Structure formats: C-alpha cells, structure tokens
C-alpha cells in the first residue's frame, strides 16, 4: 500500500487471491486501479509460487528497484531539510528484520536517510526489509557505500557530528548533546561497531543496562537513541 501511495517507482502489477475482498486489500486494489496498474486474481497455489517462502497475506506487487542516492546527494538532501541533518549509519547490519525496523524508526523519528555498506549487510530493500519497515522503506532514502569509514569522514567534512553507539561507550546517551547535525552509527548484531568505525566516531555513547541482559537488540537501541535525538531537538525548538 505504501509503495502505491509513495509513487516513487514503477509497479508492474498486483497479484491477489481470487475471491478475497474488503479491508486493506480493497484499498490496495482501488489505488492500483486508479493508477492503471494491472490486477491479477490468482489461486492460492499460484500466489504461493509467486511469493516463494514469503507470507504474502493474500496480495503482492512486482515493482522496480528504487534509485538509491549517492552519499553526496543524501547529505545535500538532509542539509536542505530546514533542520539539523540526521542520518543513521549501519555498520554491517545483516538481519533484514533489524534493517527494516531501523528504517521504520528512522522515519518515525524524523531521520533524513540511512547509510549502509554494500558488503556483509542486509539488502536495503526486498520483502523482509519492506515488511519489517511497515512501508517506511518507501520514504526513507538509503545510500549504500563501499567504505563506511570514508563515508563517515565525508559526513564530518560536511559538518556532521559522528556519534557511535556501543555498550562500552564513554558517555551515557542521556548526557550527550545530540541536537546538532548528526550521524548516528549502529553496529552489527552481536559484535557492535567495528574498531575502525569506532575510531572514526567523534563520540561513542552507551545505553545504561540495569537488568541481567548485557545489551539490547540493535533495532531497539536505535529506537531509543533516535527518539532521544528527537526529544532534544523538540525541547530546543519549543524554547
């Protein structure tokens, strides 16, 4: 539905379970019809085959890939937003569910885009990412770079402060100033940000843990930190 609403890429067609109707499916089919996108009512066996192992919920669309911005384009887009740039850099996030959840949170918190690597990382789009992001992947631009350290240094040269998140960070995140132009760096599930990436950061923050578990899931950590950024900026704008 969000891919149809966003209108950022061509959709070749929508396939849906024959006999199904009502609810969100009706809205999807109505939007597709208004955009003159071909509709195909098919059997469950055919829909299962088209979707592969995915849980299709009775409807799927075939769409072209989105055009990814370059790093310079992403920085310029953030700078032109009229507010302090906020980007999220993902250091080898491999789980599509985590990737999608972070994109969803980034959209909700007002981030201007995602930077991720081309190797050893989850795809920036695809079924798992799209579903986990609840459609937010249609709105949040994602830039893929070969060398994350180089990308972060280019962000620094453009005036952005690079803040990493790690369980051993030197500063509690609540005591960090996150109001200015910012790149928030989140690390790989389990290992965290790589040493070379960490050395590139201007500051590394931690989330204090009071329970028995040593750390949070990376998407949960990203949500806490992104909404702390949003909170600090909201306080300043209100003042």
Strands in the chain per DSSP E? 11-17, 39-42, 59-63, 86-91, 113-117, 142-145, 161-165, 171-172, 182-187, 203-206
pLDDT per residue over 23-35, tens digit each? 788 889 999 999 9
If pLDDT is split at 50, 70 and 90, which confidence band does 132 have?
very low
- Per the confidence metrics, is the pTM higher than 0.85? no
CATH 3.30.1330.30 given to domain 2-63 = yes
Strand partners, 214: none
Residue-range domain boundaries for the chain: 2-63, 71-238
If pLDDT is split at 50, 70 and 90, which confidence band does 237 have?
low
pLDDT per residue over 176-197, tens digit each? 999 999 999 999 877 889 999 9
* Candidate CATH numbers 3.40.1280.10, 3.40.190.10, 3.10.129.10, 3.40.50.300; the one for domain 71-238: 3.40.1280.10
């Amino acid at each position: 539905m969000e891919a149809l609403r966003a209108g950022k890429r061509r959709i070749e067609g929508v396939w849906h379970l024959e006999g199904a109707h009502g609810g969100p499916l009706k809205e999807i089919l109505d939007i597709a019809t208004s955009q003159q996108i071909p509709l195909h009512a098919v059997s469950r066996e055919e829909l299962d085959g088209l979707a592969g192992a995915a849980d299709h919920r009775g409807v799927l669309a075939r769409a072209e890939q989105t055009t990814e911005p370059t790093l310079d384009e992403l920085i310029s887009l953030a700078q032109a937003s009229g507010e302090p740039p906020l980007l999220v850099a993902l250091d080898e996030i491999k789980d599509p569910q985590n990737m999608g959840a972070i994109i969803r949170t980034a959209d909700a918190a007002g981030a201007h885009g995602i930077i991720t690597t081309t190797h050893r990382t989850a795809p920036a789009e695809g079924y798992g990412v799209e579903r986990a992001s609840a459609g937010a992947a249609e709105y949040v631009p994602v830039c893929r770079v070969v060398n994350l350290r180089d990308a972060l240094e280019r962000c620094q040269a453009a005036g952005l402060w690079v803040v990493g998140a790690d369980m051993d960070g030197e500063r509690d995140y609540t005591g960090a100033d996150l109001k200015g132009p910012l790149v928030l760096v989140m690390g790989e599930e389990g290992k965290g940000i790589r040493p070379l990436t960490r050395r590139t950061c201007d500051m590394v923050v931690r989330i204090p843990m009071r329970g028995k578990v040593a750390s949070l899931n990376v998407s949960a950590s990203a949500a806490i930190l992104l909404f702390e950024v949003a909170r600090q900026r909201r306080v300043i704008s209100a003042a």
